[in-house]
Structure 1
Amino acid sequence: MTRDEKLEAGLAKARTLIRQSARQGNFTLAHEDPDYVPQGDIYRNAQVFHRSYLLMERLFKIFIYKEGESPIFHNGPCKSIYSMEGVFLSIMETDTKFQTWDPREAHVFFLPLSVVMIIELLFDPIIRDKAVLERIIVDYVHLISHKYPYWNRSLGADHFMLSCHDWGPRATWYVPQLYFTSIRVLCNANTSEHFNPKKDASLPEINLVTGEIANLTAAGGSPPSNRIILAFFAGAMHGRIRPALFHHWKDKDKDVQVYERLPDGLSYHEMMKKSKYCICPSGHEVASPRIAEAIYAECVPVLISQHYVLPFSDVLNWESFTVRVSVDEIPNLKKILLEIPEDMYVRMQKRVKQVQRHFVVNDPPKRYDVFHMIIHSIWLRRLNFQINM
């Protein structure tokens, strides 16, 4: 058996073990975990997730192409709403847990480019010629596909790129195999723009305003009995959904507090921490950093979006700890929230606290945190196909 055949055989065995765990209800009890045993309604199937996660930790290997120079490659922003590009690139380059230096041992291959850095450093804001994306990405794929055999062997299916920029999907247009075949890990996980959940993975948008991880991810908030605001939102009016939210609720109700700009003396994060529900509408793009911010503040997210594939949704049961409201239901938002029984709200809020660990950014990373959940999403996509040798 060749090395490639052994890799595929190992993945086939992992698929079998994961399927078996779906039929073994006592798996999590039989496999103790020193850090955390997934249990409860926040998961689609806690046993399946746990088995898959442990197999990922034991087996999964990623090769990072060394070609490309910083700051366009191997680098990215570690603050702003695009921070997950830089955070992931930084951790991936420095943390060796999943990394292999031998491409023959790799299950997937990482293209370490940053769309944010391409736009910031090479895009002319006056001419606005997006061809710069085409030149960089086409040239890079051409380089690695001619230097290594791995891209052509799988037609790019076992390769992945990651981007939190709005133009992340656009950046992949110029290489059809990257667009249609490769794994794209994107904040802009919009199915109306050909995001394919079977092969693409949704990346949470996390706004590290100052670049300091501890400043944002310090979790906590008031207990349910002390949350005096029914629902809260503050943010700019853009996109297709927010104008309707402002039309119906801005300056209209003391229980549903909607602001385009917070009044002096009010703290955005403190308002979230004393609200029962935090409204998370899409803006220009489907993703919103408010979802993670609500989870950090232990505030039940109210999701208002269209065509959005939520992060880690093949593992997490978002219905158990969030409220979904359609655009047409925005006028009835207060009525919808008031009709949720108090005991149901308390259960949802408790689940929000439980799911926090999967959205926290750590450097160095910790098991089950957002970095590991992203890696697990990539692992699941790699399990979705087999390379024919």
Structure 2
Amino acid sequence: MEAQQIKRTTAKSRGFYVKMKLLQQQNGKHGRPHEKSCFFRYYKWLLWLSLTLYFFSPYLLTTTTTTTTNDDDSKNDNKNNINPTFLSKTRVVSSSKSTFASRALIESTASDSRLQQPLHDQEGVLSLSKDLKIYVYELPPEYNADWLNNERCSNHLFASEVAIHRALLTSDVRTFDPYEADFFFVPVYVSCNFSTVNGFPAIGHARSLLSSAVQLISSDYPFWNRSLGSDHVFVASHDFGACFHTMENVAIADGIPGFLKRSIILQTFGVQGKHPCQDVENVLIPPYVSPESVRTTLERAPANGRRDIFAFFRGKMEVHPKNVSGRFYSKRVRTAIWRKYGGDRKFYLQRHRFAGYQSEIVRSVFCLCPLGWAPWSPRLVESVVLGCVPVIIADDIRLPFPEAVRWPEISLTVAERDVGKLGMILEHVAATNLTAIQKNLMDPFVRRALLFNNQIEQGDATWQVLSALAIKLNRSYIRSRDSTQ
């Protein structure tokens, strides 16, 4: 018992000795505190913290924002009580989500070098192979030239069929020797005929006209029969593309003409997932917008670049949508926009045609691009080239030239079901990442990629088409023949 007490006493004595020794070391040789010890410790920690921030700040700025976006944005949403939708970059998806996702396009960060540079470097553009050769069939005028008697044929939203043909005629990729051609372009205009009653394209003649053209080239030339048309290219620049009808239910019922199912279709219609009207080798192209009209509008735009319209839409908006063939126009989306925001001063909504409506786009911050009968609209192109942020309201839409145009960085996508929350969504974007989106819209490469010119310019829409075809060179008869020899 005494031995245990001695051990505890000795342990306490040693502990007391160690404590006193440490105090002496801290206070100095004679037990007096160092006068500069507190300042020294503060300076040491401050220096360490400064060096740490200096060396690791670039990493923190770039990595933290991308790896913790979902968590941080969820917290931000809870603070702001914003639950119905979320932004993924500039994409707003279904209301089943409840957080705002990536801030990759936040309002302004001088440290983010991506926003200080153009989205695209011309050196990085897919160079067209000098070996790419396209033969353009010279068809009788009833297949193309005669249709140009209608002045709208070469200027309306479906006019890419004319513009691509014209550009190929003077292109360096054109060959006059069909035996060296990789692809064969069949210039049949099917969207030039407009009914005078309602202004909609009447393309009931399309299937018979195309069938006649195929019969002609297959009887006069050997190239269609040797590949069964797999290296032949057609344009379908209207609502439902290769199905060649303007109403989706009829287009699906009719399907793609059998004689075209092996060919390549350049079409404006595109959706995510399977659809009977895109069940063919295809290249998605933008609708036609006249480059001349764009240049004229930009020249007449306000010199100060001021945009005094917050949200803009001009087009068909039915107050009481009529059921046509079992379907409602725009799936009632446009009607919902009109009913919800028709009296909102921030929304400039017009239901009637106006020839100079591009002058309204160039004054607008956000341009609404809701679906019509088909998901796509010429407003997609007009908004981008005139610097207005396109607000895409068309579920599952597939957009043209995604390798050249980074759509998530220049546009907003709002789910059809969330159109009633449009005002809140646009206000949120205006308060957060609008500046970054507008800066991306100013990239001249983006504008160029969506416009068709009469003569091909590097990076323009026809250039993008040729780039897509260059990727499909395995469909070329001469390439596949040479590879097997």
TM-score range, shorter chain: 0.7 to 0.9
Equivalent of residue 264 in structure 2, options 183, 186, 189: 183
Structure 2 unaligned residues grouped into runs of 5+: 1-115, 245-253, 318-328
Q: Note the C-alpha offset of 1:168.
A: 4.0
In structure 2, what is the Cα distance between the partners aligned to 1:217 and 1:189?
Answer: 28
CA, structure 1 residues 363+111, in 2 after alignment: closer, same or farther (shift >3 Å)?
closer
Equivalent of residue 191 in structure 2, options 110, 116, 119: 116
1:301 and 2:390 equivalent?
A: yes
Q: Note the C-alpha offset of 1:335.
A: 0.9
Deviations 1:47-87 (A, max 9, x none): 8952x2x2x15232111122x31142356521222222222
CA, structure 1 residues 199+381, in 2 after alignment: closer, same or farther (shift >3 Å)?
farther
Equivalent of residue 313 in structure 1, options 402, 406, 423: 402
Secondary structure at the residue paired with 1:360? coil
1:151 and 2:231 equivalent?
A: no
Equivalent of residue 293 in structure 2, options 179, 192, 215: 215
Q: Note the C-alpha offset of 1:327.
A: 0.3
Secondary structure at the residue paired with 2:143? coil
CA, structure 1 residues 332+373, in 2 after alignment: closer, same or farther (shift >3 Å)?
same
Equivalent of residue 273 in structure 1, options 362, 376, 384: 362
Equivalent of residue 144 in structure 2, options 66, 73, 82: 73
Aligned to 2:172: 97
Tell whether the 8 Å contact from 1:49 to 1:315 is kept in structure 2 after alignment. Answer: no
Equivalent of residue 437 in structure 2, options 314, 324, 348: 348
Look up the equivalent residue of 1:169 and give its one-letter code: A
Deviations 1:222-257 (A, max 9, x none): 6998323221111013432322322322x2311122
CA, structure 1 residues 318+48, in 2 after alignment: closer, same or farther (shift >3 Å)?
farther
Look up the equivalent residue of 1:205 and give its one-letter code: P
Tell whether the 8 Å contact from 2:294 to 2:386 is kept in structure 1 after alignment. Answer: no
1:82 and 2:158 equivalent?
A: yes
Tell whether the 8 Å contact from 1:185 to 1:202 is kept in structure 2 after alignment. Answer: yes
Secondary structure at the residue paired with 1:232? strand
Secondary structure at the residue paired with 1:115? coil
Aligned to 1:202: 284
Structure 1 unaligned residues grouped into runs of 5+: 1-38
Aligned to 2:133: 61
How many positions carry a matched residue from both structures?
329
In structure 1, what is the Cα distance between the partners aligned to 2:142 and 2:268?
Answer: 21
CA RMSD of aligned residues (A): 3.4
Secondary structure at the residue paired with 1:368? coil
CA, structure 1 residues 197+244, in 2 after alignment: closer, same or farther (shift >3 Å)?
farther
CA, structure 1 residues 348+376, in 2 after alignment: closer, same or farther (shift >3 Å)?
same
1:235 and 2:315 equivalent?
A: yes
Aligned to 2:379: 290
Q: Note the C-alpha offset of 1:148.
A: 2.8
Q: How does 1:243-282 map to 2 (within 5 A)?
A: 243-249=335-341, 251-261=342-352, 268-282=357-371
Tell whether the 8 Å contact from 1:138 to 1:174 is kept in structure 2 after alignment. Answer: no
Identity %: 23
**TM (normalized to structure 2)?**
0.60
In structure 2, what is the Cα distance between the partners aligned to 1:226 and 1:299?
Answer: 12
CA, structure 1 residues 246+356, in 2 after alignment: closer, same or farther (shift >3 Å)?
same
Aligned to 1:139: 212
In structure 2, what is the Cα distance between the partners aligned to 1:224 and 1:157?
Answer: 52
Tell whether the 8 Å contact from 1:217 to 1:296 is kept in structure 2 after alignment. Answer: no
Aligned to 2:480: 387
**TM (normalized to structure 1)?**
0.73
Deviations 1:306-336 (A, max 9, x none): 3432111243221011100110111111111
Q: Note the C-alpha offset of 1:185.
A: 0.5
CA, structure 1 residues 62+299, in 2 after alignment: closer, same or farther (shift >3 Å)?
same
Q: Note the C-alpha offset of 1:194.
A: 2.9
CA, structure 1 residues 72+387, in 2 after alignment: closer, same or farther (shift >3 Å)?
same
Q: Note the C-alpha offset of 1:173.
A: 4.8
Tell whether the 8 Å contact from 2:410 to 2:440 is kept in structure 1 after alignment. Answer: yes
Q: Note the C-alpha offset of 1:106.
A: 1.1
CA, structure 1 residues 140+257, in 2 after alignment: closer, same or farther (shift >3 Å)?
same
Secondary structure at the residue paired with 2:462? helix
In structure 1, what is the Cα distance between the partners aligned to 2:462 and 2:411?
Answer: 22
Q: Note the C-alpha offset of 1:112.
A: 0.9
Secondary structure at the residue paired with 1:58? coil
Q: Note the C-alpha offset of 1:281.
A: 1.2
In structure 2, what is the Cα distance between the partners aligned to 1:363 and 1:129?
Answer: 24
Tell whether the 8 Å contact from 1:360 to 1:369 is kept in structure 2 after alignment. Answer: yes
Secondary structure at the residue paired with 2:154? coil
